[in-house]
Structures are given as structure tokens and as C-alpha cells.
Amino acid sequence: MSSFLHGYHVRANGVRLHLLRYGGQGPRMLLLPGITSPAITWGFVAERLARHFDVHVLDFRGRGLSWSVPGMDASLDAMAGDVLDLLEVQGWSSAMLLGHSMGARVAIRAASRDARRLDRLLLIDPPVSGPGRRPYPVPLSWYVDSIRMAIQGITADELRPYAPTWTDEQLQLRAEWLHTCSEEAVVQAHAGFHNDDIHADLARLQTPGLLMTAARGGVVLAEDLAEIETLAPRLQQCTAHSAGHMIPWDDELDFHRLLGEYLEADLL
């Protein structure tokens, strides 16, 4: 039986944000997806987490059913502002943030600005590119080309070259929803991977949490982990050894095992 409860909209930071809610019991968790992952694509993760947590999955601006217009500000600061104002508008006195990739960078920026309502950070393979650092390993064209194909209409099989390890169900869901990702928002986010100094944010973190990285992703390397341990000692580190950057898609069981161990919750 599904733990999905409902979708809903909130006006926060001057825009309309769409979320999906699962479970409804236990500590509150706000899930922040990656650069081209509408909220619904994280349903298979939210279903498991909902056994123990009140899970809310966000459609970032420019994605899914959230606000999206030409000329929008879809910068890291804007998205972090959305998250912080969402917590305020909803009256949530406490929440965990679980962010993957871009969503993890948003969680880091938000927590570095205002951590008063944040209990823990669960950071899944955040890009550690930035000014003067090596580039993010996935080129912008990978995202833009697939979005343009999706706008024209794309099948799961046509998407398979972009994500060869994914299941048919995962590819079908991506084929259905990828067209809702604004190319303009994605271009801004990808540029932010290289222009925003996330390491300065890490040095300001006071919120405890987990940093889970992918051994086969090429996004976070051993030398990055050593630096982050110095910058943010309150982040416990773990590695998904068989997964690439899309950890829950590449090795769902190990993702839930590692996350469950940290949260002291049986997610398997």
C-alpha cells in the first residue's frame, strides 16, 4: 500500500512551490531533488522514508509543478531562499533536509544562512565544483539535449543512453516528467555548480548531518572528503561503493542501508 498522501502548493519567497507528502508520521523531512529531478521521481525513496518520517518532496522552481517563467531567477541563493521561507510559511519549527546533488548544495547554502529550524542535513553526493576548482564532471549538454528531446516527446528507450543503469519504471517516469524542467533553470544551476563557493558555506555549517558520496560518481573524490572533514567536522561521512552519482537509482538497497544506519531506522 502506498504511503503517498497528497500534493500541495505553498507560496513562499514570492513564488508558488509544489510538494508531495508521504507518510505524515514521525519527524519532518524535506527532500530536495537534483537538477533535473521533479519531486515525483523521488517517490520510490519517499515511500521507504515514510515508514519513519513525515516526508515532503519539493519541486524546485523551474521544475515539476512549481512556478516556472521565462527570465526567472533560478540561482542557488533563490532556491535556498525558497527552502528557508517554505519552513517559515509552513510554521515548521524543525525539519531535516535531505538533498541530492543540486539539492544538497541548496541544503548547504540554506543551513549556512539560517539553521534555526534545521535538525540535520542529509547530503547525497553534492557537486564540489566551484571557483578555481575542477569542473563538475557532467556537461551541460547532457541535461539540455535530453530536456529538448523530452519537450518533443520521448520514450523510456530513447532516454536509456542517458541513464543505462536505470530500470524501465524509472526511465518511464523520467520520460514523462523531464519536459517540466526549464532549460533556463537548469542552465543557471549548472553555471552555479562552477560559480558558487559551496566550500565557504561548508565552513559555516553548525548543523550536524550525513555526507553520503558515490565511489563511482566522480563528483566527490577522496581529497574532497578530507577537505570537507576539516571544513565541516559535524558531517559524518559514508560511501556507496557500487553506485554512481545517482545513488538511489544505481544501488537503492545500499542507499537505504547507509541512510538507515545513520538515522537509526530500518529502511530495508
Q: Does the residue 129 lie in any domain?
A: yes
Residue 165: predicted pLDDT: 87
Q: Does the residue 233 lie in any domain?
A: yes
8 A C-beta contact, residue 102 and residue 35: yes
Residue 151, domain CATH: 3.40.50.1820
Distance CA 156, CA 163 (A): 10
Q: How many CB atoms sit inside 10 A of residue 211's CB?
A: 25
Q: Does the residue 213 lie in any domain?
A: yes
Q: Does the residue 62 lie in any domain?
A: yes
Q: Does the residue 268 lie in any domain?
A: no
Percent of the chain exceeding pLDDT 70 equals 100
Q: Is the pTM of this model over 0.85?
A: yes
Q: Does the residue 165 lie in any domain?
A: yes
Distance CA 61, CA 239 (A): 30
First vs last C-alpha separation in the chain: 16
pLDDT digits (tens, 9 = 90+) for 16-27: 999 999 999 999
Query: CA distances (Å), 120 to each of 107, 175, 200, 237, in order?
Result: 10, 33, 19, 14
Which residue ranges of the chain lie beneath pLDDT 70? none
Residue 230: predicted pLDDT: 98
Domain count along the chain: 1
Q: Does the residue 86 lie in any domain?
A: yes
Residue 162: predicted pLDDT: 86
* Domain limits for position 205: 4-263
For the chain, give the secondary structure using H, E and C: CCCEEEEEEEEECCEEEEEEEECCCCCEEEEECCCCCCHHHHHHHHHHHCCCCEEEEEECCCCCCCCCCCCCCCCHHHHHHHHHHHHHHHCCCCEEEEEECHHHHHHHHHHHHCCCCEEEEEEECCCCCCCCCCCCCCCHHHHHHHHHHHHHCCCHHHHHHHCCCCCHHHHHHHHHHHHHCCHHHHHHHHHHHHHCCHHHHHHHCCCCEEEEEECCCCCCCHHHHHHHHHHCCCEEEEEECCCCCCHHHHCHHHHHHHHHHHHCCCCC
Residue 248: predicted pLDDT: 97
